[in-house]
Structure 1
Amino acid sequence: MPHLPLDGSARIPGMPADVLSTVSWAAETLSREPRQLFHVVRVLLSDLRRATGMDGAELYLADPQQSVLILSGYAGKDAEAFLEKCVFHFGEGFPGLAAAGRQIVETRNLESDERYLRERVRALGYHAFLSYPLLLPHAVVGVLNLAARDVRQVEAAKRSLALISPLLAASLYAVMTSLGERTLERVRQARTPRDRALALLEDSLEASSGLRAALRPLHGDQIETHPDQMRPCGCDGKAPCPAQAGQICVSGMPELPCAALPVNPHVVCLPVWDAGEVKAVTTVQFSARGDLHAESVAPLLWISRLAAGALELPTTAAAPETPVWLDIETLGAFRIRRGGEVLSPKDFRRRQAYQLLKLLVTRWGRPLHTDELCEAL
């Protein structure tokens, strides 16, 4: 999926300047083309920052399980400082507190507010920070953050967010649901369990610009988009897998750690939830060139949200195959039974194979020369 520059300099032709018009444009665009999510988010944040007079704007999206918030877009200067921490758990830091409490969290004394967890932003002289939750009755969709050095901008920013947040929350939720519905349709059209898993993986790659992907059910064989080309996960059968326990794991990201993941190439391991349980782990590998965008994680989680049930993943490990025994009777008529079923010479692909077995059994323990075999057959 293509991305716009962080400073929002790239604009779509005909893009309105007014922030309310921008939100309406964003809602309409996302309803038609949900895979343009990050185009729209970055343009929206850029216009919102300018309209409110704030210095930085960022959007965190919540995962479907309502446990973490993941950075999905930023507009403004000092991007590296704001990227110091890209993930907040519910109840952690300003975004997490806003999500957990479903209310605005703000400060005009950022330099001394212990709730704020990004020291590099604080060191750059920012004084005002505002976290505004994007809410639906049944879910927290995400959190909008605005930051400024001038505290006089806060009240105007709050009024703007109060106007746009309901429409923005509904639009973002609709986009995430639409991504999941499209994947669900592809999964349902597939005929075999393997094809269903591949449909999910291929949609995941398309949405995230990943290189390769694999689905590792808790019970069953791993399925890969590019067999034998993915670096094996260090958790694979050797150590407890955090993703199997419901954790999101991203290589090189300290907020979402997994000691078994390689730092290079970039890899994410995401739990696949179904009926309140983790049924599999999706692993997506990204290019070794450049940084892994945290923004890819939330859409990947939402894509698998609806499709997981249609994958029809096994719920228990396959029972080991019971060995089939051959019973051979040599007293009286010569009979062979396999699993209790009598075999006739026709059940052997070649009649000579039946005769050879009969000869070897009846001459058991006695040497048999090649000439004798040829004559007997």
Structure 2
Amino acid sequence: MPMAPPQTRRARILVVDDHHEVAAVVVEQLEQIGAAAEAVHSGEDALERLRQGELDLVLCDVVLPGMSGLELLRLARQHWPLTKVALMSGYGTIDSAVLAMRTGACDYLAKPFTNDALITSVRRALALDDVAGGFNVAAIVGEVAAAVASDDMLDGLRRALRVLVRATGADDAEIFLCEPEGRDPLLCVWTGPDDDALVDRTRFTAGTGYPGIVVASGKPICRKGNLADDPRYLRKRVVEAGIRSLVAVPLPDARGVLGSLHVMSRRDDFPVERVLELFERAAVPVASAVRAGLAALRQSVDTVCGDLEDGGRQLRVVLELMRKVAGAQYGTLALIDPTTDRPSQVVSTGPASLVCAHAESGALASCTSLLAAHGVAAQPGRRDWPEACRCGLPRRAVSPCCLPLVANGRLHGLVVLDFGRTAPVHTHARLVQLLCMASQLAIRLQARTSGVMLRAAAETSELIAIGGGPAPELELRCFGPFGVWRRGQQIPAESFTRGKALVLLKLLALAGGAPVNRDVLIEQLWPEVEPRQGANRLHGVVHDLRSVIETNRTDRDWRYVRNRGELYYLDVTGPLDIDLVRFRQLLVRGVRADEENAAEAATLLEAAVDAYRGELFADEPFAEWCDAERASLREAYVDALERLARLHGSQGNDEKVLSCWRRALRASPFREDLLICQMELLRQLGRPREALAAFEEHRRLLEGDVDAEASPALLALHRRVRSAAQLAARSEAPPEARRKRAGTAARQQRS
């Protein structure tokens, strides 16, 4: 259901008068016309209120104790040029009025004034910038530059966004910043009444969604009144909130793009052309503030590290510095030995280590975020964490933030911070800042260790080979109905004497080779039992599972289902193929190759989507324990098909593009943007009947399953396609039929 749009923002007016009764009467009159008015009684108090920002108009008496109204006017015009100032005085003369207007006042009221005169003056002042595109670009950019001059980078950026929202009459604004190594744009700062919708999706990959497209292309995007019609815009909740228009510009940098700056409006007549001109200029001081803020954080790491002679002490100081920047409770820093892929040195500021099981066991390839140099920040509530974090992080972790120490494509270690149960609502906001600090520490560590080559770790795995090599001895098929195959023959489910054995195998397959703590498995398999009883049951189920799939059971040298203490995992380095793992790794490689080699990207993504035979564990469609991962994999599959469609389209392979849209629609049948792409291509290819058939199938689905109607954009396309089909039918009719139809039309015209 679409979200109800919030009410229009009320004008914010400050009344400054040392006579309390006069100030109270003026505030009352302003509130009667819908303004949000407040009063202070000195120039100094007014100056303090101006520093808090978000004022549209100041009504100030000229004669005040201490700082005069004229002096306040000069300071306001210097530091807050977007805030209007109107002066009031009981000693009004022509000379004083002229002086006030020359100083920058928008109006001058001589006391005593009538209520009508007050309201007329206020409305005139507030209407100065209401004309579309009528704002003063230089003044706004100046106030943006003043706003970002803050010790706290995010606070300065947030103040700058409020300036831009107020100046343009927009509803919301936001800033995405790129990860230093992973390069994904992450939502870092936002403002406006629709913050719940904005934070629904905080990460995009390069080339995906508006933030990813702006970052990858370095070019702005403007949409006026038809944002919902653009299939590239992937934030459904923002559209449902009523946002109709958008301007997005890149944040420029000498070495590329730092991120993107966006403003959004519910208005169909939002002046996007003038706003674009403003934002392209405002992006310069914003980008400068981002560069300066991130450089200061890198310098702080350099200052602490020195030459890392006293490694343990200096690492602890850096960890404490990162903890303070994040606002976390405690953290752990682990350096990785490149010869074993396991921690060689661990320091913590808390009661115990937070190193995940993937790093402890050397299974770094099990964490796709780590392989892609992405940071991860999670809220309290383990069920909503990424699968690798949910299975790998120790139980003591409550609200973790994981930061890989990556420089030049090599992993030197990782930092795990924990915000605890008092975590801020949006822990991801400072993720880019923390990743910059982590990257700088990795640069300093390069002199001590060679690090682990992340790209090689993914590309040398046998599981992601596209073709060739020996067939796996054991195969786990997670997409579609779950199946276990040995040497090409399926192992019947009846071979497992304990019913939970296959569920355990699914849980381990879902972890993709990453160790899973015994307590996590027990909680999933038997949530109602005591830990000791659960441990006994788990032992029996593991024994049953091994007795079926392990071929060498005499010396207990388990080939597939291994454990190290309380950690259980599948050994994916042996002759074992898991389609889920293969899909994930091919997808990582395909997305990465998409930035460099289109042909290689298409080959990898084709192999990835071919591995997706159907929904994850389709034999258990109502299993809640895998719902989140099932939805995530479906979204990744559709995203891969969208990328493939773009790659095939650039090569003119229209039939392959159509195949991608059809497959994507089978996975996400309610995605109208996918249907629009398919119908539009069919229309361009002169195949309107196929487009109409696809529309009718979608319409029946909507009416039968969700009792909904097609969107206006889809209905408009349907009308265009139907017209094309009618024209095609006329041109394909036999000559005799065409002559008869023409004769009928002529007779109707004569009559």
The question of a shared fold, defined as TM-score above 0.5 by the shorter chain, is answered with: yes
Letter in 1 for 2:204: F
Maintained 8 Å contact 1:251/1:258: no
Provide the C-alpha distance between the structure 2 equivalents of 1:316 and 1:203, rounded to a whole number of angstroms: 23
Letter in 2 for 1:177: A
Specify which of 305, 308, 320 is matched with residue 442 of structure 2: 308
The number of residue pairs the alignment matches comes to: 304
Structure 1, unpaired ranges of 5+: 1-6, 318-377
1:175/1:255 Cα in 2 relative to 1: closer, same or farther (>3 Å)?
A: farther
Maintained 8 Å contact 1:268/1:285: yes
1:274/1:141 Cα in 2 relative to 1: closer, same or farther (>3 Å)?
A: same
Provide the C-alpha distance between the structure 1 equivalents of 2:279 and 2:189, rounded to a whole number of angstroms: 17
1:271/1:316 Cα in 2 relative to 1: closer, same or farther (>3 Å)?
A: closer
SS of residue in 2 equivalent to 1:85: coil
Maintained 8 Å contact 2:308/2:314: yes
Specify which of 222, 227, 234 is matched with residue 117 of structure 1: 234
Maintained 8 Å contact 2:165/2:172: yes
Matches within 5 A, 1:338-377: none
Q: Does residue 1:51 correspond to 2:167, yes or no? A: yes
Q: What residue number does 1:269 align with?
A: 402
Letter in 1 for 2:417: V
Provide the C-alpha distance between the structure 2 equivalents of 1:255 and 1:155, rounded to a whole number of angstroms: 41
Q: What residue number does 1:187 align with?
A: 305
Could you give the per-residue CA deviations for residues 315-335 of structure 1, whole angstroms, max 9, x where no partner exists? 479xxxxxxxxxxxxxxxxxx
Provide the C-alpha distance between the structure 1 equivalents of 2:437 and 2:227, rounded to a whole number of angstroms: 36
Structure 1 position 231, deviation (Å): 4.6
Structure 1 position 205, deviation (Å): 1.2
Q: What residue number does 2:257 align with?
A: 140
Structure 1 position 189, deviation (Å): 7.3
SS of residue in 2 equivalent to 1:288: helix
Letter in 2 for 1:130: V
Structure 1 position 213, deviation (Å): 1.5
Maintained 8 Å contact 1:70/1:87: yes
Maintained 8 Å contact 1:286/1:292: no
Maintained 8 Å contact 1:88/1:95: yes
Maintained 8 Å contact 2:161/2:173: yes
Q: What residue number does 1:259 align with?
A: 388
SS of residue in 2 equivalent to 1:89: coil
Provide the C-alpha distance between the structure 2 equivalents of 1:65 and 1:259, rounded to a whole number of angstroms: 20
More strand by share: 1
| RMSD (Å), alpha carbons | 2.8
Maintained 8 Å contact 1:57/1:147: yes
Could you give the per-residue CA deviations for residues 44-90 of structure 1, whole angstroms, max 9, x where no partner exists? 11111111111100011111126211111111111101111011111
Provide the C-alpha distance between the structure 1 equivalents of 2:228 and 2:436, rounded to a whole number of angstroms: 36
Provide the C-alpha distance between the structure 2 equivalents of 1:268 and 1:163, rounded to a whole number of angstroms: 34
Could you give the per-residue CA deviations for residues 190-230 of structure 1, whole angstroms, max 9, x where no partner exists? 651112211221121121111111112221122112241x5
Q: Which has the higher contact order (CA 8 A, sep 6+)?
A: 1
More helix by share: 2
| Normalised TM-score (structure 1) | 0.73
Provide the C-alpha distance between the structure 2 equivalents of 1:44 and 1:178, rounded to a whole number of angstroms: 20
Could you give the per-residue CA deviations for residues 248-270 of structure 1, whole angstroms, max 9, x where no partner exists? 22335999934334696111111
Provide the C-alpha distance between the structure 1 equivalents of 2:273 and 2:220, rounded to a whole number of angstroms: 12
Specify which of 47, 54, 71 is matched with residue 187 of structure 2: 71
1:199/1:97 Cα in 2 relative to 1: closer, same or farther (>3 Å)?
A: same
Maintained 8 Å contact 2:301/2:437: yes
Maintained 8 Å contact 1:217/1:313: no
Maintained 8 Å contact 1:217/1:280: yes
Provide the C-alpha distance between the structure 2 equivalents of 1:164 and 1:256, rounded to a whole number of angstroms: 36
Specify which of 354, 362, 377 is matched with residue 250 of structure 1: 377
Could you give the per-residue CA deviations for residues 286-323 of structure 1, whole angstroms, max 9, x where no partner exists? 13135342111000011123232324553479xxxxxx
Maintained 8 Å contact 1:99/1:140: yes
Specify which of 100, 109, 112 is matched with residue 216 of structure 2: 100
Maintained 8 Å contact 2:331/2:354: no
SS of residue in 2 equivalent to 1:235: helix
Letter in 1 for 2:376: C
Structure 2, unpaired ranges of 5+: 1-8, 13-48, 53-75, 83-139, 338-343, 453-751
SS of residue in 2 equivalent to 1:218: strand
Letter in 2 for 1:272: L
Q: What residue number does 2:548 align with?
A: none
Q: Who wins on radius of gyration, i.e. which is larger?
A: 2
| Normalised TM-score (structure 2) | 0.38
Specify which of 299, 319, 328 is matched with residue 201 of structure 1: 319
Q: What residue number does 1:213 align with?
A: 331
Specify which of 98, 121, 126 is matched with residue 243 of structure 2: 126
Specify which of 34, 56, 62 is matched with residue 178 of structure 2: 62
